[in-house]
């Protein structure tokens, strides 16, 4: 897996297309959820995009958001792996890379996420703890979680 962590202004048009297509394919088409993916957070100052390529194909992605963007703390969002690599453990190094980058970019900061509820245990294995009740977001059960440093 080849990892790249880039600001919006560093993304090539091909990388931007790849990440938007992966997000759309999974979050909109696969999960049959029409929602506003283009929320202006992608190009906000301080936002970073972590791209995981396998054989020149984007198969893993997440974005790192500075504190105050979607939560009081730093946030990791749009965590996604391509259907072709599911079950191969790609999600683990994706989140490990994301957490390491968040610590590098914002040392000691609390990290908060809005996790799909069925992924609760996945995030708990990295130290995330729930701090909200389950709620519906775009018709999908979610729960807010955080790691406090």
Question: Cα dihedral angle (80, 85, 86, 92), rounded to 10 degrees?
Answer: -60
Token pair of 138, please? Answer: 């775009």
How do the pLDDT tens digits run along the chain, 149 residues long?
Answer: 999 999 999 999 999 999 999 999 998 888 877 777 889 999 999 999 999 999 999 999 999 999 999 999 999 999 999 999 999 999 999 999 999 999 999 999 999 999 999 999 999 999 999 999 999 988 889 999 999 87
CATH number of 2-147: 3.40.630.30
Domain ranges in the chain are 2-147
Whole-angstrom distance, CA of residue 93 vs CA of residue 77: 15
Q: What is the pTM of this model?
A: 0.93
In sequence order, the 6+-apart residues with CB closer than 8 A to the CB of 125 are none
């Amino acid at each position: 897996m080849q990892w790249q962590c880039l600001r919006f202004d560093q993304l090539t048009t091909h990388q931007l297309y790849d990440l938007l297509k992966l997000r759309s394919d999974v979050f909109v088409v696969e999960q049959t959820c029409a929602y506003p993916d283009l929320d202006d957070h992608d190009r906000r100052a301080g936002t970073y995009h972590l791209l995981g390529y396998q054989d020149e194909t984007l198969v893993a992605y997440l974005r790192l958001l500075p504190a105050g963007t979607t939560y009081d703390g730093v946030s990791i969002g749009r965590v996604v792996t391509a259907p072709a690599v599911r079950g191969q453990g790609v999600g683990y190094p994706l989140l490990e890379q994301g957490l390491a980058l968040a610590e590098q970019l914002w040392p000691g900061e609390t990290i908060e996420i809005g996790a799909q509820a069925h992924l609760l245990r996945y995030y708990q294995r990295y130290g995330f703890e729930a701090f909200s009740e389950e709620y519906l977001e775009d018709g999908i059960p979610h729960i807010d979680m955080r790691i406090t440093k």
